[in-house]
């Protein structure tokens, strides 16, 4: 594992997907409001973090690799804070394109500082898909970087970027044509886009929903579930993430590798899948065998799950064990 981690620094990965700004409002809730049965939060601090595909990129960067980020934001305050957070994390912003009449996807979480728990979440999203000129800019950016990359991560949160199937397939074709490792984190509604991906990542509940929408009989256990989804999608491998339990890798009908997320204190599963995708992609680039890749990935997931909110794991934390 040590040799694999040491090779992370040589990896060059481009992350394309739905960009988000995560705003954390920290405070104390000491009483209920007289106006309604809701807590009154005395705000003490506000903190902006990178979310969505940007959290994937942030994890790649924290693990020592070179990362490029591509996606869309609006012309709003959230975009300003997003760019600032990306720059502070050492992530280049050349592939981040602003869109007129587009709201930067923002998740506002009101947090109790005393209990380190979420009290409320507010979501801001753009109601429409990006235009062709925006997609063309991103396509050109990806195309210009293909020759210098080891892997491409497509982070599909179903927030609009990959609502255009042709665009998603074009990006995948660019990557596979360049012989890159392609790791996809997708919602079940878009799974049919990614049949040529190296690895597709999905949650257990989304995998069940995917089969149910196809009117197929319920699977008998997780092994059958994973193998059936992988066969239908057509990807080489499938990662099923059960955030508070573990991760299962399905490569073919004969081999399934499962690994438990072992953490002393499970505080928050926010962003765990982002960490899983980042760590697994880096392991593939580093040439790790499947068992080592799963060991590294679950260790990274456990480190993040023991933190509050959208978080990353560093190479030093992984090496500590």
Q: Verify whether residue 18 is a known catalytic residue.
A: no
Instruction: Write down the pTM of the prediction.
Output: 0.92
Instruction: Determine the pLDDT at residue 11.
Output: 96
Choice among 44-58, 133-147, 276-290, 297-311 with the minimum mean pLDDT = 297-311
pLDDT in tens, 196-213: 899 999 988 888 888 887
pLDDT in tens, 134-189: 999 999 999 999 999 999 999 999 898 998 899 999 999 999 988 999 999 988 77
| Highest-pLDDT range among 53-67, 110-124, 242-256 | 53-67
Which DSSP letter does residue 38 get? S
Summary mean pLDDT of the chain? 89
CA distance 234 to 78: 37
CA distance 251 to 181: 15
Contact (CB, 8 A) for 10 and 148: no
Average pLDDT over residues 305-318: 86
Catalytic-labelled residue, pool 18, 150, 156, 274:
274
pLDDT band at residue 29 under the 50/70/90 scheme: confident
Instruction: Determine the pLDDT at residue 245.
Output: 72
Question: How many CB atoms lie under 10 A from the CB of residue 251?
Answer: 16
Looking at the domain 2-19+51-101+128-320, which fold is it? Answer: 3.40.1190
Give residue limits of the domains in the chain: 2-19+51-101+128-320
């Amino acid at each position: 594992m040590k040799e694999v981690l040491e090779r992370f620094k040589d990896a060059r990965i481009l992350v394309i997907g739905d960009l988000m700004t995560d705003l954390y409002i920290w405070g104390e809730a000491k009483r209920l409001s007289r106006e309604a049965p809701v807590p009154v939060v005395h705000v003490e601090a506000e903190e902006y973090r990178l979310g969505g595909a940007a959290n994937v990129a942030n994890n790649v960067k924290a693990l020592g690799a070179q990362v490029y980020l591509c996606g869309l934001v609006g012309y709003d305050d959230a975009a300003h804070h997003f760019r600032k957070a990306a720059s502070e994390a050492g992530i280049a912003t050349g592939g981040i394109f602003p869109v007129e009449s587009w709201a930067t996807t923002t998740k506002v979480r009101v947090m109790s500082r005393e209990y380190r728990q979420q009290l409320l979440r507010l979501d801001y999203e753009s109601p429409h898909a990006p235009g062709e000129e925006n997609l063309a800019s991103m396509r050109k950016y990806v195309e210009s970087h293909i020759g210098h990359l080891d892997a491409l991560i497509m982070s599909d949160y179903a927030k609009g970027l990959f609502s255009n199937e042709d665009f998603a397939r074009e990006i995948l074709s660019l990557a596979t044509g360049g012989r890159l490792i392609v790791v996809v984190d997708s919602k079940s509604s878009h799974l049919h886009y990614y049949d040529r991906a190296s690895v597709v990542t999905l949650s257990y509940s989304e995998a069940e929903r995917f089969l149910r929408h196809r009117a197929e009989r319920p699977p008998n256990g997780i092994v059958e579930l994973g193998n059936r989804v992988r066969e239908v999608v057509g990807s080489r491998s499938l990662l099923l993430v059960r955030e508070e339990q573990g991760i299962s890798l399905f490569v073919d009908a004969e081999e399934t590798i499962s690994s438990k997320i072992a953490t002393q204190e499970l505080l928050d599963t926010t962003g765990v899948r982002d960490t899983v995708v980042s760590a697994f992609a880096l392991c593939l680039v580093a040439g790790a065998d499947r068992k080592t890749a799963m060991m590294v990935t679950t260790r990274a997931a456990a480190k993040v799950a023991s933190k509050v909110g959208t978080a990353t794991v560093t190479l030093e934390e992984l090496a500590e064990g």
